[in-house]
Amino acid sequence: MSLHSHHEENHYIERSGWLRASVLGANDGIISVTSLVVAMSASGATVHTLLITCIAGVISGAVSMAAGEFISVKSQQDIEDADLRMEAASLDLSPDLELLELTKIYIHRGLDKELALEVAQQLTAHNALAAHARDEIGISEEMAAQPFLAAASSAIAFGLGGLCPLLAILLLPRDHLQIGIMVVGVLSLGLLGAVASYAGGSPILKGVLRVVVWGILAMSFTFWIGSLFEVSAV
């Protein structure tokens, strides 16, 4: 093989940030909105009420997901920034001790003492803070917290997930609306599980079963709760 051959691996872990937020958002959108609509349907609500409930659920859920994801990931980013400031201060005050610390890390990873010291010296000369952030703290550019991306991914994914029960209400016959909404929800969860598993490099069947089973449990429970209010709704 030529030394100039191009070899690049696109690891699945690089997708973990946006994939986690997107899967969580879409899954929550499908289950939450579908369960909400199913519960209202079981209570005897009209199609018009179901439609309004669904739209309100999609909007409020997407906004809530975006806000919650942003706050959560932003807190993680604040912790990362605080650690980086602490490490930068330590590098200014005690560069020799920090070099020794980095050397010990490489020794524990399998390098002999001389090579570990040489690697630590070269990486320190190149970018000391980046070396300590990556190898001491565990912060890398690829895995760093991105609150805006996480918030946007969650909101969009929730909205797309919530469109499934909304389309079911708009398109399905009224006589089969209740069971149809649940069927659409289950099929949507199965599709989401397959896509998420494929994107994450995990077994597709396992991913499908995981989201479908939990989705059915959630919908069944909320359907039962809604049916308890059927008499009062009428």
Number of domains comprising the chain: 1
Residue 2 lies in a domain: no
Side-chain half-sphere CA neighbours of 193 within 13 A: 20
Task: Convert the pLDDT of each residue in 103-119 to its tens digit.
Answer: 999 999 888 899 999 99
The answer to whether residue 121 sits within a structural domain is no
pLDDT in tens, 161-182: 999 999 999 998 888 888 899 8
> Is 81 within a domain?
yes
The Cβ-side half-sphere exposure at 101, using a 13 Å CA radius, reads: 17
Question: Does residue 129 fall inside a structural domain?
Answer: no
For residue 112, the Cα-to-chain-centroid distance in whole angstroms is 39
Q: Can you give the pLDDT at residue 16?
A: 52
The token pair at 104 is 């010990």
**Average pLDDT along the chain:** 83
User: Is it the case that residue 144 has pLDDT exceeding 80?
Assistant: no
The answer to whether position 154 is within a domain reads yes
For residue 42, give its domain range: 15-88+145-233
Alpha-helix residue ranges (DSSP H) falling in the chain: 16-42, 47-93, 95-108, 113-132, 147-171, 177-200, 204-227, 230-233
Please check whether residue 110 lies inside any domain of the structure: no
Does the residue 205 lie in any domain? yes
Would you say residue 21 has pLDDT above 80? no
Residue 215 lies in a domain: yes
